[in-house]
Structure 1
Amino acid sequence: MKLPALLPVFLLLCSESRGSEASHPKPPACRYPPSQWCRSLEIAIECKVQKQCMELNATRPNRAVPPVSVSLYYETLCPACRLFITQQLFPTWTMLQDIMAVTLVPYGNAKEVSSGNSPYTCQHGEPECKGNLIEACIINITRHSALQIISCMESAANVLNAAQPCLQLYAPSVSWASVDSCVKTGLGDRLMHTNAVMTRALNPPHTHVPWVTFNGEYTEENEDKAMSSLFQLVCQLYKGVKPPVCTGAPVKLNRSFC
């Protein structure tokens, strides 16, 4: 009678492999998630996908054309930021990571203060200050896997509690101890100060979050487009030959801010 409990797992495995099983053999399990299989030759060899990664690299856009630079200024517990990361930024990056470069700046509407138990005050209280700090450390340590981890955290019911399991899922070679050390030492404070400086330097100054710049510039027109269909905007802004996925129909979502 335990068979029904296994059915969702079976269906999930089927849905993940259906599109590629005809042309590519299913690779054996390895300790890296599929999104990282082609990140380096060593990982490709371990996961036995060298041939598939070589084919993928052969179809990537011309790197002589710079990718679209997308910088997100946000705060970890802002509902609108969480929605933008999980429903716009991460899905768009998943499909267009070859033509876009993402910079995450967790700080948002926080303020640096010279007194008190914490050097910062945050719009959504002390838990958000801690969340900003944890995500700043994760971004600094994990680099290539950062957006996947942050999206995993922001999609969870409890952002802070999800930090360690999301790190283990998307960056298994990175120890939680390294993140914890960053949070509890001066490195985390320096990272947060850097984010504060970057946020204060915005021109025009930010008035809400999420605040998104493209190639270092902010315009209300691009913000409107990004909040309704970031995917379509990145395809539009890319100056090189558009990847085939850009020919799909856009899906527009409602916008919100903090």
Structure 2
Amino acid sequence: MKQDAPVSQTPTVSELRRERERAEITGRIMDVARRMFVRDGYEAVTLRKIARAIEYSPAAIYQYFKSKEDLVKAISEKDQQELLADILACMQLTNPQERLVEMARAYAQWGVAHPNHYLLQLVPPFAWEKRKSTPQQQVPAPILQEALGALYETVKEGINLGRFNEKYKDPSLVAATLWAGIHGVIMLEITMGKDEWARIDNPEISFEDRFLTLKEVFSDGFLKEPSPAVKPKNRGRKAKK
């Protein structure tokens, strides 16, 4: 008995075009929603308002996201995956000191290049944070946990190799302190970076200056030897607002 030829699974030109258009519209919805959540707060933003902002009908936007909760989940997963990819790219470095510097740089540069992304993930609007007040929801998302885990393991490796001063034996404390410092540098830049008074009587101070100074303070305070000299890198990202 003659068998039918297998049906080709190759998408047609029109199907590829529809997929591309859907991806573009989805990205636009997420970008606008991200800005609105940061500016107005979670409770004040509705899918109807987002649709109006992108000049879409309320009914049409539901073809992409069934609810505001689905939209928030999609934004969180996308943003955290981008950040995690930048951080994990540094894990190939064998020297834990150099790896720490590059992880911190990747984290800081991502935050400054994507201020709305960073604010929404790390400094969520109060109303949104209030919704996550149950004990089960206070655990960081798996993606963020993986990023913090990479930081912790790198610090732990450095301590085990004897690269840190003997009094710093707790990798959790060292990792949390480094994270707090980088978070502060990012927040200063994206919330008050254009204000001269925030530069404390020196308008020439740049984000890179603050980052490198923090790196040196960390190296001088925690490490037995100065961290490897790492020149500033430009990862070619353009700021998204």
Taking structure 2 as the reference length, what is the TM-score of the superposition?
Answer: 0.25
Taking structure 1 as the reference length, what is the TM-score of the superposition?
Answer: 0.24
Larger radius of gyration: 2
**Bigger helix share:** 2
